[in-house]
Structure 1
């Protein structure tokens, strides 16, 4: 997958340390991609599945995530966003940061080793929560109304808050490494789009390998080398993420839930749920209810 020198459509970023803007579209870009710029995204209104590095999760309105330089990512909306029936929108506030220019401009002010270390850590993807999320979002909204020096002061304050808060979690695995190459782009796009559309049913390896245009053995090796997880595990993560969403929204039996998520029986569903989430579906439901 080809790394982009700058965010498409924002040539101004080539000369700037940062750029913040509001984005409103019928749906988010479906291209699984990476670029040199870091990206801070607050989802104002949207829902679907998100991939950051080797992390695969369900996303919805209200999440705030910083994606470091060179980390493959995509926010892929649910199918209903592409059908255009319910007038849904994908709205976000995004800030792009050039890590090279940031370090270059901060260098004359003193030791920047801590900034370098944080930028390296951010390549795993950082999700903020709690008071930190509220404070960072407030600064992003403030920057939209500011210009010049005042906006830069807010940016430095925001950067300091992201670097020092303890209210965050890292998304990609400790040993995640971006192994994508230029020729992977269209193939991985086709694979992910097909999986997102069909993950609730059984997807034979022969079928997904045909989508990729390679044989089954080559597909298994290719998919694991790029995502750093097996195809089966990837699909199970998608299904369990979907199950978590349903557990938060609806009351249904475990049998009904397992079928909706692509499992033929509750035994397999419970086993994969506990393996991925560390607790049973009932325990997860109880925890979510207590939070509410």
Structure 2
């Protein structure tokens, strides 16, 4: 793969609620890109294609539905796909149509979480796709306010469905469970100081908690221990530098707070399923272009 990461200027205007593109094709030809709009992408019959969302790389199956947050790198590539008829429906919209005032209502709590998680890219399971794909496919035939209602029904259904996020925490510098003041403090501190030697004692003083209590608190809120959370942030930043720079792997590791290369390599392999060198090869030649 030899291409740049491009900033896409979408055709969405201030008077549009959303835009929808439906197309059939034999291959993927759009480069890795990002844009300010949210994007829901349904892809059918493209088994063997490669998906890149942020720092996550994966070969896809025949049913693919991904929700991408704002300014998150994403792209699909033909790779090993042999299909003669790929079907793709892309829905794009900006964050003004579902603003904080709307998402903070009790009835919108599931939608709010969906949009927060989209910062890391969301992949829906095959069962969800099978249940909702027809509704997405016929959305292009909706007119006027009916199209808005159908759009809202799609996202309501998706917000109630199981899904998994794709990127590491650090790639987009997200802070999970931001409704908690303390957990936000913890993640803000780690995002700002991941290059330094951070330990649980330092963070516990920041939030006025005992180390043991803070450790349990983080585990309860995130499902991960303190070191795992810190390593996710560091690995996310490592991935960004691997993609965006030509620095050596060891230099990047030290820059991002890993002082032991053997330990760094083990953590990276565990988190990404490949070595840092293999990860860089997946993104060979890709550079940010704004």
Give the TM interval when normalised to the shorter protein. Answer: 0.5 to 0.7
Output the CA distance in 2 between the equivalents of 1:22 and 1:220: 44
Q: Look up the match of 2:248.
A: 217
Residues 14 and 3 (structure 1), Cα distance of their counterparts in 2 relative to 1, 3 Å cut:
farther
- Which of 142, 152, 172 is equivalent to 2:167? 172
Q: Look up the match of 2:135.
A: 139
Residues 103 and 136 (structure 1), Cα distance of their counterparts in 2 relative to 1, 3 Å cut:
farther
Output the CA distance in 2 between the equivalents of 1:126 and 1:153: 22
Match of 1:99, SS? coil
Match of 1:175, SS? helix
What TM-score results when the alignment is normalised by the length of structure 1? 0.54
Contact persistence 2:25–2:84 (CA under 8 A): no
Q: Look up the match of 1:232.
A: 277
- 1:114-193 map, 5 Å: 115-166=111-162, 168-177=163-172
Unmatched tracts of structure 2, length 5 or more: 174-242, 257-267, 284-290
Q: Look up the match of 1:44.
A: 44
Residues 54 and 88 (structure 1), Cα distance of their counterparts in 2 relative to 1, 3 Å cut:
same
What TM-score results when the alignment is normalised by the length of structure 2? 0.54
Residue 120 of structure 1 deviates from its aligned partner by 1.9
Residues 50 and 130 (structure 1), Cα distance of their counterparts in 2 relative to 1, 3 Å cut:
closer
Unmatched tracts of structure 1, length 5 or more: 82-86, 179-211, 239-292
Contact persistence 2:51–2:60 (CA under 8 A): yes
Q: Deviations over 1:35-80 (max 9, x none)?
A: 1111111112334211101111112432111111111011011278
Q: Deviations over 1:101-122 (max 9, x none)?
A: 3328947988756544421211
Q: Look up the match of 1:74.
A: 75
Q: Look up the match of 1:255.
A: none
Output the CA distance in 1 between the equivalents of 2:79 and 2:6: 25
Q: Please tell me whether residue 98 in structure 1 is matched to residue 79 in structure 2.
A: no
Output the CA distance in 2 between the equivalents of 1:173 and 1:221: 16
- 1:191-202 map, 5 Å: none
RMSD: 4.0
Task: Report the number of matched residues.
Answer: 194
Structure number with the higher helix fraction is 1
Contact persistence 1:48–1:75 (CA under 8 A): yes
Output the CA distance in 2 between the equivalents of 1:13 and 1:219: 45
Residue 237 of structure 1 deviates from its aligned partner by 7.8
Contact persistence 1:18–1:95 (CA under 8 A): yes
Question: Structure 1 stretches (4+) deviating beyond 4 angstroms?
Answer: 104-114, 227-230, 235-238
Q: After alignment, is 87-96 or 115-124 more displaced? A: 87-96
Output the CA distance in 2 between the equivalents of 1:234 and 1:218: 11
Output the CA distance in 2 between the equivalents of 1:38 and 1:105: 18
Output the CA distance in 2 between the equivalents of 1:131 and 1:26: 25
Residue 2 of structure 1 deviates from its aligned partner by 5.3
Output the CA distance in 1 between the equivalents of 2:251 and 2:51: 22
Output the CA distance in 1 between the equivalents of 2:279 and 2:103: 41
Residues 219 and 160 (structure 1), Cα distance of their counterparts in 2 relative to 1, 3 Å cut:
same
